Structure 1
């Protein structure tokens, strides 16, 4: 499960960045939080491994905008790539610690 989440996050991050580049950050964050809530609900109600795996993939793709949107919008003077790297390193250290 952790590997599936990590791979989906790693592969989905650049894809989601391109797909959501033109969206307003507030709206993107609200939609991502809704997707994350739906993913958790589906994971809780999953009847088997395949359903749980699908829910984890949805969770990973929903986590990308949530990790990116607030930090980038809060710090205008720093470069976006530095902020995204800091956010992801914090997420990685939290999940492995």
Structure 2
């Protein structure tokens, strides 16, 4: 059996990015870091659903969070540097790894 780690990792990231809500969140966070409550209001989502999507984005390594202390401690989400690249060359290399383990 060939090395499928690259294919599985790519598949997981694409599944995360395939959700329109998460793409909207990433777009808003790309403008500036935001906290979950702010995103829930902007996207008209419940806080638990917003937090679930943010957790999925964080687990996939697309965003990271940090806390800001104040009268109310806020967990802020910011975009991490990432690049998703799919090209015939990338797919060929993945296929070769599967073909020749």
Fold conserved (TM > 0.5)? no
Whose strand proportion is higher, 1 or 2? 2
| Bigger Rg, structure 1 or 2 | 2
Whose helix proportion is higher, 1 or 2? 1
